[in-house]
Structures are given as structure tokens and as C-alpha cells.
Amino acid sequence: MMRGVISKTRLAGWFVANRARIDQSMSARLGPAAPQAGAEETEVLRRFRSFVTSALRRGDAAKPALDGLRPNERRVDALLSAWSDAATELAGDAGENVREALNPLLERFRMSLRSTGAARRKRGAPRSGRRRVVMAAIDRVADAFIAIDSDTGTVVDANPAAGALLGVPRDALLEVDAMSFVPEEDKAAWWTELDAMTEASEPRRFRGRLQDARGGQVTVDCTVTRFASRGRVLALVLARPAPIV
């Protein structure tokens, strides 16, 4: 923990000395949505940490080196925010100093990320006006919405209610194994429903359980609809906490 106003040089040293603790705190916040060893987003975070310490020590830093990476920009944005929040909390009384130092560096790093051709390709084509309207409506729905790739089981999209239900920023859910938020003893039942959905023409309804980032479990009433998009089949899940009886 740091106290009072501190220099940027000292702050850079603090980041280096506490890297592991910051990462552990972030992982505890995100649970199954935390970046995994060897994942591309983990390499992006490593380069961000290097960029931060270099900028603080020298007063400036070269443009972040992101060549060769194809990160999911939305997920990386959420992870960068989670890392910044973890560092700010760990700094204690000097948390405001940490946030003030990180904010402009976060913005600069994100701008570099958006400008890379790889990131643009990963984002895909801009959404049509109709699709933007649909997604905006889904974002306002009180029920949790999660789009799952039926082949890989990974999360393709989610709304804010899904993030709130699972205890993580919704964009941090992207490309994460959806089953990592299902209790172990319930995973077979969920896979059975998803497999059946691929053959169904009508929405399927079932009751199941989800597990948030800190291990808390909630029973949910789910509706699953099949949706074919860009050569893959998505399971569109709407989940609502079941009434307590």
C-alpha cells in the first residue's frame, strides 16, 4: 500500500514490484473470465504493463508494439479496465494517484489497439443500422442475454444484465468458455440443452443453474433459440433468476 502523493518514477517501481498481486486481484475479480496463460489477451496485458512502466520512468513512451496480435478489442478493453481497477484498489490511499497516472496511458494504448489492422479485422464489419437497433434493444433487456457458439461453447456476445448476473463486465465474457460459469454438476445438462437446440426449430425452455465469478450460484429460467450466422450456429440464451418459492 502507498500513501500520499508519489512521483511517477516511484509509481513505476511500485507497478513492477506489485505486478503479481495486481494480476491476482484482477483474476479474483473476473473468476473464469480472467485471461489464461498463453492467451493472446495475456500478451496484450503484458505489453500494456511494459508500456506503463516505460512511460512513467521516462516521462513518455514509444507507441505500443501490438504487431502480430489479433486481440478481441472489446474483451481487451474490459480486461484493461479490470487491471486498472485492481491496481487502484491495491494502492490504498494512493489509489487516486494511480488512477490519474493510468487513465491517459489507458487511452493512448486503446487508441493504438484500435488503429491496428489486426484489431479492425477482429472487430469485423461495422454493424448495420438494423443490427445496431437490435443490439441496443438487447442491451436494455433486464434478462441476461448470452450468445454462445454451439460448436466451441464460447461466448460470442452478452448484454450488461449477463455481466451483472455473473459478476464481471459483460465484454470480459467474450470468447470465454460459457460452461466455466456453470456448476460442474450441471454442465452435462446444459450441453444436452445446447445440443438439442441445434436440431430444434422452436425455442427450448429449461431451468438450470449459473455460477458467478466468485462462486455464488443462482437458479435461472432459460429460453434458448437457434440462430445461424456467418456459417455457425449460435445459441441465444435468455436467463432470468427463478422465483424463490
CATH number at residue 221: 3.30.450.20
- Of the candidates 100, 113, 94, the residue with the CA atom closest to the CA atom of residue 43: 113
Domain match, 79 and 166 both: no
In this structure, the number of other CB atoms found within 10 A of the CB of residue 220 comes to 19
Asked whether residue 1 is domain-assigned, the answer is no
Question: Rounded distance, CA 25 to CA 56, Å?
Answer: 22
Domain match, 139 and 117 both: no
In this structure, the number of other CB atoms found within 10 A of the CB of residue 41 comes to 21
Report the alpha-carbon angle 11-167-164, nearest 5.
120
Cβ pair 106, 56 in contact under 8 A: no
Which residues contact residue 135 at a Cβ distance below 8 angstroms, ignoring those fewer than 6 apart?
Answer: 127, 157
Asked whether residue 3 is domain-assigned, the answer is no
At 120 the pLDDT is 45
Low-confidence ranges of the chain (pLDDT < 70): 1-6, 61-62, 117-135, 245
Q: Tell me: the pLDDT tens digits for 58-109?
A: 877 667 777 777 888 899 999 999 999 999 999 998 899 899 999 999 999 9
Asked whether residue 19 is domain-assigned, the answer is yes
At 232 the pLDDT is 86
Count of structural domains, the chain = 2
At 51 the pLDDT is 92
Domain match, 110 and 31 both: yes
Q: What is the pTM of this model?
A: 0.83
3-state secondary structure of 147: strand
Question: Rounded distance, CA 86 to CA 65, Å?
Answer: 24
68 is written with which cell numbers?
Answer: 502480430
Domain match, 152 and 107 both: no
Residue 23: give the domain boundaries. 8-123
Cβ pair 173, 210 in contact under 8 A: no
